[in-house]
Amino acid sequence: MQHTSLRIWLAPVLIILVGALGWRFWPWRTVTPPHEIRSSGTIEATEVLISPKISGRLCALKVDEGSVVHAGDLIAQLETEEQDAQANAAHAALEHATAQWEAAHNGNRPEQIAQARAQLAQAQATVAGAYAALLNAREDYHKVTALKEQVDAAKTHYDAMVAARIQTQEALHLTQEGTRSQQIEQARAAVEQAQVVLDHDQKDYGRMETLFKEGAISRQQWDAAVAQRNASHALLAQAQAHLADLVAGARPQEIREASMAVLQADANVEGARLELKNAQEAFNDRLDARARYDAAAANYQATQAQERAAKAGLDLLLAGTRSEDLRAAQEAVRQARANLDYAQTQIANARITAPIDGVINTKVNDCCLKTAACPRDGKHFPIPGLRG
């Protein structure tokens, strides 16, 4: 339930000491003992103005008009929920600061140093494991280059086998149809072209052989050059045989041989295709080696940073507490204690008490405390003053 705030003024308190002499001088008193003297006059009393030292919600009013109070009696009570929370927080902060100061003053315990040593050893073991993983990832990454060269060599071999099959198929066709003059001319041109290709591949073979012996190229590159030269030799031999067959004319045996050559070429193409397929699959399996290598390198750097942090922590424990850290811990304790004292003072100021003996007066002035409804039952408590 939400309550409307009400501006209520806590009156300055007028406390007037009233003694037995006041009773004796009331004007309506008619009987005067022989040993007393009757007289009229004005009784002067001490007036004390009271107002709260803090602002807050009024939750308890302990007096009414005309109530007799003694010095120290509770007149009204303000809410202290916020001040209580501040005091609890200040008390916890003081305990924490005190513990920190005691730890700094007493120095590091042996078990703390032992734990720091164990953490450093663990960090060093982690670094060693990360370095081993990095080496493995780097080796896998380097294998990717070799696998790519194997794929290229397999592709070259496959293309050569396909070309050879085409030639055997053409040779069979020519054998079956018989020889014509233009076919013989074409065969001679094929022989000349095959010779040119072989001469080129032979020169390249010699160059690659020198480079391989010097260690400038890999085994795979050398094998590719050998395969290319051999393929050129085979093409030239086939071209020469084809020309010879055309010149001599086809025989039934030659037709059967040509047919067998086509079958063999088909088998060679299939073998080359499977070789290329296997090389490509092996290469594709290694394509993520770069990502694994980068991840292993990043992990190795992270473990090195952890090792440095663990070593710095151990060195700090072995060095002990610095004098400036000890002074800072002492200052933190002093500040926390001051905060707690202030919070407890605010709680004490929430109690409005009578400073002297007297009677509650209802006089209200404009110097006072702004209050509000009590949150427990929603009632508004007027604050009377003190009177003598």
User: What are the extents of the domains in the chain?
Assistant: 1-79+350-388
> Using 50, 70 and 90 to split pLDDT, how confident is the model at 32?
low
DSSP codes of every residue in 308-365: HHHHHHHHHHHH---HHHHHHHHHHHHHHHHHHHHHHHHHHHTEEE-SSSEE------
> Which pLDDT value is given to residue 251?
66
> Which pLDDT value is given to residue 23?
38
Asked if the 1-79+350-388 domain carries CATH number 2.40.50.100, the reply is: yes
pLDDT, tens only, 112-171: 778 888 888 998 899 999 899 888 888 777 766 677 788 888 889 899 989 988 988 888
Q: Is 74 left (phi over 0), alpha (psi -120 to 50) or beta?
A: beta
Phi then psi dihedrals of residue 26, to 5 deg: -65, 135
pLDDT, tens only, 177-231: 765 677 788 888 999 999 999 898 889 888 888 888 888 888 888 888 889 989 9
Q: How is residue 368 annotated by DSSP?
A: S
303 pLDDT higher than 80: yes
> In degrees to the nearest 10, what's the CA dihedral of 291, 297, 300, 306?
-90
63 pLDDT higher than 80: yes
In angstroms, the CA 361 to CA 12 distance is 9
> Using 50, 70 and 90 to split pLDDT, how confident is the model at 378?
very low
374 pLDDT higher than 60: no
In order of 45, 171, 185, 247, the CA distances from 181 in angstroms are 154, 15, 6, 9
> Using 50, 70 and 90 to split pLDDT, how confident is the model at 43?
low
Q: Which residue has the higher pLDDT, 291 or 387?
A: 291
Do 341 and 168 touch, CB atoms closer than 8 A? no
